[in-house]
Structure 1
Amino acid sequence: MSFNNRKFSMNRSSGVPRESTSNRRFSTGQPSQSENDSRIHRQFRNAHEGHRSHAGLDPTRASTGVVWCTERAIEQGFGEEPEKWANLGQGAPEVEDGIEGSFKRPTEIDITNAGREYGPTAGIKPLRAAVANLYNAHHRVGKTSQYSWENVCIVPGGRAGLIRIAAVLNNAYLGFFIPDYTAYNEMLSLFKNFAAIPSPLSESDGYHINPDKIAEEIARGTSVILTSNPRNPTGKVVKNPELAEIQDICRDRATLVMDEFYCGYNYTSECDGTVISAAENVDDVDEDDVLIIDGLTKRFRLPGWRIAWIVGPKEFIKAIGSCGSYLDGGAAVPFQEAAVEMLEPNKVKVEMKALQTHFKEKRDYVIGRLREMGFKIKTVPDSTFYIWLDLEGLPFAISDGLNFFQACLEEKVIVVPGIFFDLNPSKRRDLFDSPCHHFVRFSYGPKLETLKMGLDGIERVIKKFKAGAHLD
């Protein structure tokens, strides 16, 4: 691929956008007529540095793909009447009570005197101890090395936790796999103490991370590996014995950062409440460079509480706790205090059974409806509440993620184009040849009524464009 005569959108000295004197040259050819005629494609290119020679927005203004999609929906009325929309784009589970077997969420919180004060930036000791006890009870039974409260840092949400981790990493090559969680994109662009190196996974094997792939990354000098497990957006999980083999390969060679926010949504063990975690395979909790991040957000269905945690070696946790003093100030103390009783191990086991049973039923309903519409779902997700939905085979006008997204908006349905999960830190790559371009991420996190409304809207989209294609 040649970069001769390529026009960049920024004056590298001043940082001021400048007009291009010619059309953008794409890496393997010009965009299709369908893309050229598409308003949503033009809007996307004009708003994203790295896709057009003159970006229409300040390139320092960055948002995740989900936020960008929500902004487009708001432009079409989502903000005024959200109850009339099916938001299948936001990565959030239903938060209402009513799931059979699930404990009722608090509606009131007692605020102690301590809750009125600044809390420690590493979190309050009772919650740190409760998290350590949960991991020991569910993943460390019979093992000599056990987590203590000093192996846990409480953080105000998953993004804050990831940013804290990034802030304490040494100079390193950081390997990550695509497709993956959209918020990694901006986080990996913020810090200059490491170089983020993408490693594409293959669609043909279900975007599976296998031990050989990890060995390749380490062989080329990668010393930090970041990945979600279970996988966002593909809905797949790496479990033992492969997970244990991956950790063996990384031991003493690389720091492994495991985003386990969807670990409760595991359908591989008959919905018995089993949670898959890298904590199971750690030899020594203070020696193995394994950092695990999870929280109340997903598996406890409390995204508004902004309570999450990082589990890892004490030396790492001490640094991660300290950097909170200048990054985010720490999590709200009253919510930390209220979270302690939720983490009793037996209570969590019962909760996970209820969660898995309920969300598996929703998954099966959604898969069935989509297949009835003609979608080809090669691999059913075995975890999370996402479907990585392949659009190939649909009428040409809606066979890419952005055009399908736009068509869904017109039926008051929100999904997320797959291109956002082809992470591109600092916009170093041209994404218009992305293998993720013909996918969208579909969330079955919302309650069933919302899913039915969204699927009805998607069905109207399919019928409308099939009728149009027939007339053409």
Structure 2
Amino acid sequence: MAAKAPQTPKTPNRKYSSSVTSRPRRFSKAGEPTEDNELSSKIHRQFRDAHRGHRAHAGLDPSRASTGVVWCTERAYEHGFLDEPDKWANLGQGAPEVDDDIEGSFQRPQTIDISINSREYGPTAGIKSLRAAVANLYNAHHRQGKESKYTYENVCIVPGGRAGLIRIAAVLGNSYLGFFIPDYTAYNEMLSLFKNFAAIPSPLSEEDGYHIHPTKISEEIARGTTVILTSNPRNPTGHVVANPELAEIQDICRDRATLVMDEFYGGYNYTSDCDGTVVSAAENVHDVNEDDVLIIDGLTKRFRLPGWRIAWIVGPKEFIKAIGSCGSYLDGGANVPFQEAAVSMLEPDKVLKEMKALQAHFMEKRDYVIGRLRKMGFHLPEENVPQSTFYLWLDLSSLPTGLNDGLNFFQKCLEEKVIVVPGIFFDLNPSKRRDLFDSPCHHFVRFSYGPKMEVLEMGLDGIERVVKKARRDSDLRRSYHSVLYDRE
């Protein structure tokens, strides 16, 4: 009888597309499940599944479907956030309060006149009047006494900050792009999307308050980095690189690297006694058409109009021309009626008064939040108090086991109708090189004090319940083990 050919083992149906390489799952600790072990943490498994993608449709990469804030909001929907949002404290989304009741703040438009011209397609670089108003604002606040001034040709209007970043990425040549950890979550998707540059992460030191030193910039350039992207003021830590260090960094980059400065939180400056001063690299530019400094800002954060989707990029004419042109195939340009309505908001004296009101109001909220959290026992040394933004990079390491990482803390907060963002999302990892348990951001969450005071109070009440319950359970476990030990 002829020998039977060896049977090919049956291959089970794949759950993931063939582009995904499977590997043994790592766990936070070996051995039996414990409270801080991935084996017993549903939220860690849920995060990892979303991180590597679900069953793929043809051509779909599900891992690009959501940023950190969106993923967190989707988890909140599973707990009822969509049905009763008023009963929740959303301290996750990076949005400031939008009401007109901040003392000293100007009233936002309630209606908008729509001109006949605004019914037409607008220029993809933005309408000239708004571009000129932005240039005038920067000259008045940051270019006084300087020979080189911005004009409308140095400004491109874009439909939101993300659109601005994508436009910049689209016009960059082949290059190494340096970025810092932790930083804004949306950079992660943008950095993984474009193939004309290689994204090089540079972790900052927790012990040093995540500070960007000029020597760090020199090191990046020395290893071949030609584009540097960073938020300043910093999201999520709330720290700011100010002069003279900021000027030194720009001197180092001049003629050697393009500096992309995300300055959306520049107005939330608590370092100058709430005098309305705005932090901006525009102050240190020597020649507006020669210095490779691109600045992104807009109405979203410091003018508290996130729904308008009006932002701008300020930089050399040559860059701005290319950035304006690529809008024709990327996003089509910003909404024209909202551009027209924004022109009158950017009068320099009006903006200065607005910034004074903004800073005083949000610093008061910052101090309230920090006071409450310190009473709960959170580790919040003075050097980690945010100097800007409306974010707190909250260290969870002082909490009991099982609550002292960002994902488990986030999960427990959902049970009390509170949303925060786990720190893992700010560990930009576009090439998926690091495992989540290797992340230096895993024991943090980002807490936003952007919402109104009553929302902050409700959210902190919920966090206090979470912490008290965890400590009570931890004390009970210690007592139980102590009794067992005594019996032995």
TM-score by length of 2: 0.91
Match of 1:142 in 2: 145
Distance 1:459 1:189 in 2: 38
Shift in Å, 1:437: 0.3
Q: After superposition, where does 1:89-128 map in structure 2 within 5 Å?
A: 89-128=92-131
Gaps (5+ residues) in structure 2?
Answer: 1-13, 478-488
Give the counterpart of 2:463 among 452, 458, 471: 458
| Contact 2:233-2:240 within 8 A present in 1 as well | yes
Partner of 2:444: 439
Letter in 2 for 1:466: R
On the 8 A contact 2:378/2:395 being kept in 1, the answer is yes
Partner of 1:384: 389
**Would you say the 8 A contact 1:28–1:433 is kept in 2?**
no
Name the counterpart of 1:316: 319
Q: Given residue 257 of structure 2, which amino acid in structure 1 is its aligned partner?
A: A
CA deviation map 1:207-233 (0-9, x unaligned):
000100000000000000000000000
1:57 Cα offset (Å): 5.3
**Once the two structures are aligned, what percentage of the paired residues are identical?**
79
| Closer, same or farther: CA 320–452 of 1 in aligned 2, 3 Å | same
How many Å apart are 1:61 and its aligned residue?
A: 3.6
Q: Secondary structure at the match of 2:187?
A: helix
Note if 1:226 corresponds to 2:262. no
Q: In structure 2, which of residues 203, 206, 210 is the aligned counterpart of residue 207 of structure 1? A: 210
* 1:327-342 alignment runs, 5 A limit: 327-342=330-345
CA contact (8 A) 1:48 1:57 kept: no
Map of 2:402 onto structure 1:
397
The range that moved more, 55-64 or 444-453, is 55-64
Q: Displaced runs of 4+ in structure 1, greater than 6 A? A: 26-32
Task: Tell me if the contact between 2:289 and 2:315 (Cα under 8 Å) persists in the aligned partners.
Answer: yes
RMSD: 1.7
Return the alpha-carbon distance in structure 2 between the equivalents of residues 32 and 269 of structure 1.
50
Q: Please name the residue that 2:245 is paired with.
A: 242
Q: How does 1:144-223 map to 2 (within 5 A)?
A: 144-223=147-226
Instruction: Specify the alignment match of 1:24 in structure 2.
Output: 25
Size of the aligned set, in residue pairs, is 454
- Please state whether the residue corresponding to 2:301 is helix, strand or coil: coil
Q: Structure 1 residues 99 and 14, CA, compared in 2 at 3 Å: closer, same or farther? A: closer
Q: Deviations over 1:33-52 (max 9, x none)?
A: 32321110110111112xxx
Alignment partners' CA distance in 1, 2:345 and 2:103: 17
Counterpart CA distance in 1 for 2:288 and 2:19 is 48
TM superposition shift of 1:349? 0.1
Distance 1:138 1:192, change over 3 A: same
Report how far residue 60 of structure 1 moved: 3.6
Question: Are the aligned partners of 1:132 and 1:149 in contact in 2 as well (CA < 8 Å)?
Answer: yes
- In structure 1, the residue matched to 2:5 is none
Superposed displacement of residue 115, structure 1: 1.0
Displacement of 1:431 in angstroms is 2.7
- Which of 366, 369, 374 is residue 372 of structure 2 equivalent to? 369
> What displacement does 1:393 show?
1.2
Partners in 1 of 2:471 and 2:314 — Cα distance?
50
SS state of the match for residue 437, structure 2?
Answer: coil
Deviation string 1:379-418 (CA, Å, 9 cap, x unpaired) is: 2111000000000110111000000000000000000000
1:72 is displaced (CA, Å) by 0.2
* Residues 256 and 291 in structure 1, CA contact (< 8 A), matched pair in contact too: yes
Letter in 2 for 1:460: R
**SS at 2:266's partner residue?**
coil
- For 1:298, the aligned partner's letter is K
Map of 1:347 onto structure 2: 350
User: 3-state DSSP class of the match of 1:256?
Assistant: strand
Determine which of 409, 434, 445 is the counterpart of 1:429: 434
Deviation at 1:250, TM superposition (A): 0.1
Q: Secondary structure at the match of 2:456?
A: helix
Distance 1:132 1:360, change over 3 A: same
C-alpha spacing 1:398/1:31, structure 2 compared with 1 (3 Å): farther
2:419 is equivalent to residue 414 of structure 1? yes
Letter in 2 for 1:411: E
Q: Which residue of 2 aligns with 1:52?
A: none
